[in-house]
Structure 1
Amino acid sequence: MFPLSASIVSVLQPFACLFTAPTLAHLHVLLTGTLLAQGPRTVTAALRAMGLSAERRFERYHRVLNRARWSSRQGARILLGLLLGMLPAQVPIVVAVDETLERRKGVRIRAKGMYRDAVRSSRSTVVTCLGLEWICMAVLVPVPWSTRPWALPFLTRLAPSKRANEAAGRRHRTVVELTIGMVWLVSRWLKQRRWILLGDGSDSCIQLGWEVLAAQATLITRLRLDARLFAFPEPVPVGRRGPKPKKGGVLAKLATREEEARSRGEEVAVQWYGRPKALRLLSEVCLWHTPGWPPLPMRWVLVVDPEGRLPTQAFFTTDLNMAPARVVELFVQRWSIEVTFEEVRRHLGVETQRQWNELAIARTTPMLMALFSLVCLMVYRWRERWETLPRSTGWSLKSHATFSDCLALVRRTIWAEDIYVNSTSEQDRLLISPDRLDRLLEQLAATA
């Protein structure tokens, strides 16, 4: 085995406190091999990429995932601190949360369930798939090699199905309940710093709104057009006995105020999924009420397209003073986490791992998600290479880099430090050992 890349070791150094020395060395091999491997990201594929096909004690690398004692939660805390160092000054902390489906099947995978496959489903057809559901939190970072902020994952949690929890004798916790636990965890890590949470339709509930407010954060997500909205209660006269009213009169449903938004709404130009778009926004502050929970004060924003190409949508925020255009622009940035999910599947092999052990399953996918952020962190430290980062060709000109460009740069750096480490500038040609040449050719010949 060759010496590990100095670039990889420097990025992984803050995590050294979580592992013993042998486990850390094995982890370095697994992560470096995962970056270099093509195709499925199994432990054996990582070992082949590192030139360890003849390793007789290969089970030691499996033990990093299925037996070794280390805390993935503490690793997420360290990674969050590193990612916050990438944020420019005065840029607010914005965290996107979303669920993603990992298509997996097998008798020994106990946490699996039947879920809606958002990629294969459409508005008219719902496709369900057997797999694992993950809740992922990612920091939105404005990277210098792209025009849009990237969603860099730092905390990923498995959400077992209801049937799996019942079979294990555990109380089933919904996605919202698990998300609330993650919100309090992040708030504790940020030490009461203000931050913004971007959710989707599944996060549109009063319970999550109250918990986010208690954690000193701000929630921005979708709002149903038929939500029950109420005015604020009138002041109670002095000396009046009895319970105080918690809400005022009933307000009209947002579904009935579309024409009002078209005529009276403020016309603004916002960045709508990468391009400027003129929209009309109607916004007010009121109370949102659901039986069983106290009314939640919030600001709703009704969005209509003057051209009629986009369906009418509604969003809300728990920050009553936030500008309506700011609410829309922040929610649109949440789409970056969907891009991240696609990139980790295409380039980092999510859904190709083959672990059956419960602990290994709970660790592998979060590690692949975190590896996406570590690659971006490595590229962020190589400022001198940003200008040449996009890989353009004669028939395709790229003005901005993508994750494939970042991963290619990391791979080239690792290969260069490995193959040419013993070469000198006085030689006319570069000599490569037969072992390293065979390994390089094997990787170049492998299919993606």
Structure 2
Amino acid sequence: MLIVTPPWTSRSWALPFLSVLLTPEEVDRRLGRRHKTVPDWTKQLVKLVRRWLPDRDIKLVGDGAYSVVELGTACRNQRVQLIAPLRFDACLYTPPPARQPRQMGRPRLVGQRLPQLDHVLDDPQTFWQKAWVAWYGQGKQQIEWCSGTALWYRGGQTPLPIRWVLTCDPKGKHEPRAYFSTDQTKSGLSIITDFMRTLVC
């Protein structure tokens, strides 16, 4: 869906423009065809939309089904920013150290392992910023958030550069949440507002 804000309202609308049929794995097996997951189809659609709009800035916002390293890499290759929820136990790393002269062996893909986001959430040293946001269609609410950059890595896959962001409710009414963007230059707050704006359309 394309998110637009008509001139006569302050609320954004979600306009469907491209759909594919997702079938369960057992149905594909019965029909003798290869099963395609949500990320599989999304990678194809991202390439198609990029072909239609070669010079347009494209931002793809999805739910947890889009939280896949391979999909994020495919989006980066197509110059598409992906924003989606991020698991609290995601394996995050620093960039690999620079290779030294005459250093032997294969280049490292990642650097040091970073604390998991659930540890960041509970760490009393974490610096939280405050902001007022439109909270899932429930009006303005104050949140606390923190953010950083990392390489998201799963064995056998290309490390994905991301900006992660954590949010929590200072009043404790809502569960903490984590999100990521494949554009490390974006601010944590813009990632939060882009995700929430999409979900309330």
Q: Which of the five TM-score ranges fits, normalised by the shorter chain?
A: over 0.9
Give me the whole-angstrom Cα distance separating, in 2, the residues matched to 1:243 and 1:278: 47
Shift of 1:165: 1.5
Which of structure 1's runs of 4+ aligned residues deviate more than 6 A? none
For 1:74-89, what aligned pairs fall within 5 Å after superposition? none
> Is 2:191 aligned against 1:327?
yes
Secondary structure of 1:170's match?
Answer: coil
Contact 1:193 1:216 in 2 (8 A): no
- The alignment of Structure 1 onto Structure 2 pairs a total of residues equal to 200
Contact 1:262 1:304 in 2 (8 A): no
Contact 1:221 1:317 in 2 (8 A): yes
Residue 215 (structure 1) aligns with: 78
Larger Rg: 1
Secondary structure of 2:179's match?
Answer: strand
For 1:39-438, what aligned pairs fall within 5 Å after superposition? 138-260=1-123, 264-274=127-137, 275-336=139-200
More strand by share: 2
Secondary structure of 2:17's match?
Answer: strand
Contact 2:136 2:200 in 1 (8 A): no
- Relative to the length of structure 1, the TM-score reads 0.43
Give the partner amino acid of 1:221.
A
Give me the whole-angstrom Cα distance separating, in 2, the residues matched to 1:270 and 1:143: 21
Q: Summarize deviations over 1:359-408 as a string: whole Å, max 9, x none.
A: xxxxxxxxxxxxxxxxxxxxxxxxxxxxxxxxxxxxxxxxxxxxxxxxxx
Q: Which runs of 5+ in 1 are unaligned?
A: 1-137, 338-448
Give me the whole-angstrom Cα distance separating, in 1, the residues matched to 2:200 and 2:15: 9
Shift of 1:168: 1.8
Contact 2:88 2:118 in 1 (8 A): yes
Give me the whole-angstrom Cα distance separating, in 2, the residues matched to 1:181 and 1:261: 43
Give me the whole-angstrom Cα distance separating, in 2, the residues matched to 1:313 and 1:319: 19
Give me the whole-angstrom Cα distance separating, in 2, the residues matched to 1:168 and 1:308: 48
Secondary structure of 1:270's match?
Answer: strand
Give the partner amino acid of 2:199.
W
- Relative to the length of structure 2, the TM-score reads 0.94
Q: Which runs of 5+ in 2 are unaligned?
A: none
Give the partner amino acid of 2:83.
I
Contact 1:227 1:254 in 2 (8 A): yes
Contact 1:229 1:286 in 2 (8 A): yes
Q: Summarize deviations over 1:195-217 as a string: whole Å, max 9, x none.
A: 10001011100011001011111
Q: CA RMSD in A?
A: 1.6
Go from structure 1 to structure 2 and tell me whether the alpha carbon gap of 1:327 and 1:153 turns closer, same or farther (over 3 Å shift): same
